[in-house]
Structure 1
């Protein structure tokens, strides 16, 4: 493996691109969808607006 320079270089390059790809994909799934499309952001805000009174009522009933 060490004497094979071409294979070693290829493996390192593959690992580097793979880690970059996974990190980019992870970031995209978390924030990219909400940032890119305003419809998703509005949908999340709408859900939060719907569940906010339910959450407050549940907390008040618990106490």
Structure 2
């Protein structure tokens, strides 16, 4: 069963008010997925950029 209880839902956001009209516009799902991907890429880039800095700080504090 999907999110609406009647059928398999393949989209993140999906809300039918009747059988022929979806209340969530078609552009919303790709934008949500794109925002998640951009956020994950940003977090990974931040972690990779920060990792050598934290490693260098730990090396200098030990001496």
Larger relative contact order (CA 8 Å, sep ≥ 6): 2
Shorter-chain TM-score range: 0.3 to 0.5
Report the TM-score when normalising by structure 2. 0.47
TM (norm. structure 1) is 0.47
Answer 1 or 2: which has greater strand percent.
2
